[in-house]
Amino acid sequence: LLHWNSFKNNVLPKLLVVFSVVLPALFFGFLIAYFITSKIILLSYLTYIFIANLIVLGQSFKRIQSEIAKADNVDKIIKQYSLLVEKIETETFQSKKLKDLQKQLVFKNETASAHLKQLSELFSRMDTINNLVTAIVFNGTFLFNLHVLKALLKWKQNYSTELEKWIEIIGEFEALNSLANLAYNNPDFVFPEINSEYKIGFSDLSHPLLNPATRVANDTHFYPENFVILTGSNMSGKSTFLRSLGINMVLGGIGSVVCASKANIHPLPVLVSMRLSDSLADSESYFFAEIKRLKQIMDALENGPAFVLLDEILRGTNSDDKRNGTIEVVKKIIAKNAIGAIATHDIEVCLTTNEYPNILTNQCFEVEIKNNDLNFDYKLRNGICKNKSATFLMQKMGVI
**Tell me, what CATH number does 377's domain have?**
3.40.50.300
The answer on 233 and 112 residing in a single domain is no
The answer on 164 and 292 residing in a single domain is no
The answer on 38 and 167 residing in a single domain is yes
Q: At 12, which helix (H) or strand (E)?
A: none
- Residue 78: pLDDT over 90: yes
The answer on 217 and 164 residing in a single domain is no
Contact 147, 125 (CB under 8 A): no
CA distance 112 to 118: 10
CA distance 233 to 384: 11
Contact 232, 365 (CB under 8 A): yes
Listed residues 162, 185, 208: the one ending a domain? 185
Range of the domain at 305: 193-397
303 DSSP assignment: T
**In total, how many domains does the chain have?**
2
The answer on 212 and 314 residing in a single domain is yes
The answer on 122 and 260 residing in a single domain is no
Listed residues 185, 203, 220: the one ending a domain? 185
Per-residue HEC secondary structure of 235-274 comes to CCCHHHHHHHHHHHHHHHHCCCCECCCEEEECCCCEEEEC
Please give the residue that has the higher pLDDT: either 72 or 186: 186
Listed residues 118, 153, 185: the one ending a domain? 185
| Model confidence pLDDT, tens digit, residues 23-37 | 999 999 999 999 999
The answer on 51 and 76 residing in a single domain is yes
Q: Is the dihedral of CA 252, 225, 362, 297 positive or negative?
A: positive
DSSP lists the bridge partners of residue 308 as 271, 340
Residue 254: exposed, middle, or buried by beta-carbon count in 10 A (0-12, 13-18, 19+)?
A: exposed
- Residue 206: pLDDT over 90: yes
pTM as predicted: 0.81
Q: What is the DSSP track for 17-77?
A: HHHHHHHHHHHHHHHHHHHHH--THHHHHHHHHHHHHHHHHHHHHHHHHHHHTT-TTHHHH
The pLDDT value given to residue 394: 81
Q: Residues 368-382: what's their mean pLDDT? A: 87
| Model confidence pLDDT, tens digit, residues 286-313 | 788 889 999 999 999 999 999 999 999 9
Contact 215, 140 (CB under 8 A): no
